[in-house]
C-alpha cells in the first residue's frame, strides 16, 4: 500500500446549489471553476475534475499557485433547515 502524506491533500471549499433537473457546484477558490450534474455526487465529481485540470494547467505553465489559496484543514459547510413557530 502506498503511503499518503497530509501534504498531498488540500481542501477546496465548494458550494452546491439545486437547479431545475440537477445541481450546480462551484468554488470561490479557483476563478471560473464550476460544474453541473444530474445528482449531487455527479456535480461534485465534475467540479473536482475542473479543479484538477485548472491546477494541472497552472503547473504546466509554471504559473504561480499562490493565487489559489487552499486549506489543509477540513471544513464542510452544510445547510441546516430549521422551522420556527
Per-residue pLDDT band for 47 (boundaries 50, 70, 90) equals very high
Hey, which bits of the chain come out as E strands?
A: 15-19, 22-26, 34-37
| Whether the predicted pLDDT of 4 surpasses 50 | no
| Whether the predicted pLDDT of 56 surpasses 90 | no
Structural domains of the chain sorted by starting position, each given as residue range(s) with its CATH number in brackets: 12-67 (3.30.160.250)
What residues have CB less than 8 Å from 56, skipping those under 6 apart? Answer: none
Mean pLDDT of the chain: 79
- Nearest one of 12, 67, 31, 73 to 59, comparing CA atoms: 67
* φ, ψ for residue 51, nearest 5 deg: -65, -45
| Whether the predicted pLDDT of 26 surpasses 50 | yes
pLDDT computed for residue 6 by the predictor: 46
Distance CA 22, CA 36 (A): 7
| Whether the predicted pLDDT of 48 surpasses 60 | yes
pLDDT computed for residue 73 by the predictor: 64
Amino acid at each position: 500500500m502506498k503511503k499518503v502524506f497530509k501534504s498531498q491533500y488540500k481542501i477546496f471549499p465548494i458550494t452546491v446549489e439545486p437547479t431545475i433537473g440537477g445541481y450546480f457546484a462551484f468554488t470561490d477558490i479557483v476563478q471560473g471553476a464550476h460544474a453541473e450534474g444530474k445528482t449531487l455526487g455527479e456535480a461534485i465529481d465534475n467540479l473536482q475534475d475542473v479543479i484538477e485540470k485548472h491546477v494541472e494547467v497552472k503547473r504546466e505553465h509554471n504559473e504561480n499557485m499562490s493565487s489559489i489559496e487552499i486549506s489543509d484543514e477540513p471544513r464542510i459547510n452544510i445547510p441546516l433547515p430549521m422551522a420556527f413557530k
